[in-house]
Structure 1
Amino acid sequence: MSDSVMVDGRTRTFAVAGPADGEPGRALVLVFHGSKQNAAKHRAFTGGMFDALGGVVAYLDGYRGNWNDARRTSAFPARRDDIDDVGFTRAVIDRLTWTHHIDPARVFVVGYSNGGQMAMRLAHEVPELIAGVTVIAATMPAPDNFLLAGAPPAPMPVLLLHGTKDPIVNYEGGEMSWWARKAFKVGGRSLSAPETAAYFATGNGITAAPVTTALPGGAGGTSVELTEYRRPDRPPVALYTVHGGGHTIPGPRKAPAILGRTSTDVNTADLVNEFFGLAGTPASVLAPAPAVAGGRPTGADRHRINSDGD
């Protein structure tokens, strides 16, 4: 089902999977696509796997293919035009609280690439809106490249997935290659995937050393390793490292070869369901995915990121 909300005088659109007449108090999962995608393209890119997430799933449309994330050097239109993507997130939650009777205390975010950057912005800027985040193929900006460096994230469960052969967002951190900086209009340094996991674990108050486990499989030239940060009284952090994996989302739909290898040993939707304890598998009210590759804070409480922050 397609829907829209007005934010700062702009019509913002999203598509919803999950019937409006389902059980009240369901969880809501907000899915943020990658650069140069939109909700429909991302759904096709993943083979519709996120439709199987428990509760209600909303695929949000970015502004001209991007999200106004918190990287200081982002220079795409969403940043240049100071698009209020935090307000958009809030408006979608409010709408679905009314139309689908979701539980506003059980809102989770799944973000891929630029969408993963947006997920991390939300975790820092408006943690009261969300109960946990999944970040795929994205890592924390280095402090000098992060507009919210002075606002540490509130404790929440964080699930991370990243390929060691990602050709766009380096697993080891640092700067993107020159062609990626030019193509995606971003720059600046980022932490490595393990440093990102450790960053969120520290924010959650977890001081114990992580435990790493090799998972069974090894299909298609990739293998998966799980690193867990846990403490009984703290929200967990988990990093799935896909050895040999690219800028891809592990699961049934392989990404175009230019993005690198896709692991089929794990299914990202299954990992999200299990990690956040999402119940139920609602039938999608959207058409089948096409087979192609490829209380509330007031406005005064928000820290807006302006276009002059680049």
Structure 2
Amino acid sequence: MHINRLPTQSIRPFDLIKVASMFCLVSSWANAATLAHWRFEDTAFLDDSSGGGHTLGVVGTSPTQVTPLPSSGNGSAFSNPIPQSGASNTGLADLGTSIAGNFTVADDGWMDSIGTNGTFTLEAYVNLEDLSNINPWIVSQYEYTDADERSFAFGVSRDDGGLRAIIAGNTDGSDRTTFESSLNLAFNRDYYVALTYDSSNITFYLQDLTNGGALQSENVAHSQSLTGSAANVAVGGWDGTKGPDERWRGLIDEVRISDTVLSSSEFLVAVPESSSFVLMLGGFSLCIAALRRRS
């Protein structure tokens, strides 16, 4: 076998620009996956920061905005600034133990890609204050009305505070599965939580922000299909007649929905450098080496 060996030469500035462009393109792909991102910021409490215009409305009693973030106690460990973006975190939503309300926004087709792609990621910062007689949901597209429309719900179990999810394979909810994890939330503690879904795996993520814990994950293999839905998207509960029994009690912040399975390096939380990050750096070095060998 004859192998062509290219002469070595110094890297050219234009080559560096091309490498930088590749990394910028990867970054733009990650940003394009965001369907909605509610940050509950000062002067923009209900706004969607993704630019999609999915402004939240209120169902029941309006949750309270807290701004700036508390200096101690509940909510004080929510990340500020936000890892990955560097944006300041200046506010959060308090759904408290006495507030019978949550947020919803109509789905006019902007959520269709999760049913088409069969993938999504849900993220939030949360602080749970109570579990009495409720099944608290963080973010969902799950409606209980005469015209049922059900897709997913992500929250915690009232039995033990463990992260859980419901995935529906049809809109009437008759084809659905509840998935439970052993990642449990304690009361009055700040957490980052996330859920990723694809056709064969659901992965739950939990990081204790109050105590500076590591990002924990638990994977569940599954065969449950996902349906698209025309139901409202809800934050801090779900939509419909059972809403009061399914609302979050505590704090919620930085709720983001993406239509792809994000890697931990793309999450809205600081994580240690993973092997994939090291591999990425190695790949970058190989790119530079390859460019040096070009004629």
**Could you tell me the TM-score, scaled by structure 2's length?**
0.30
Larger helix fraction of residues? 1
**Could you tell me the TM-score, scaled by structure 1's length?**
0.29
Larger strand fraction of residues? 2
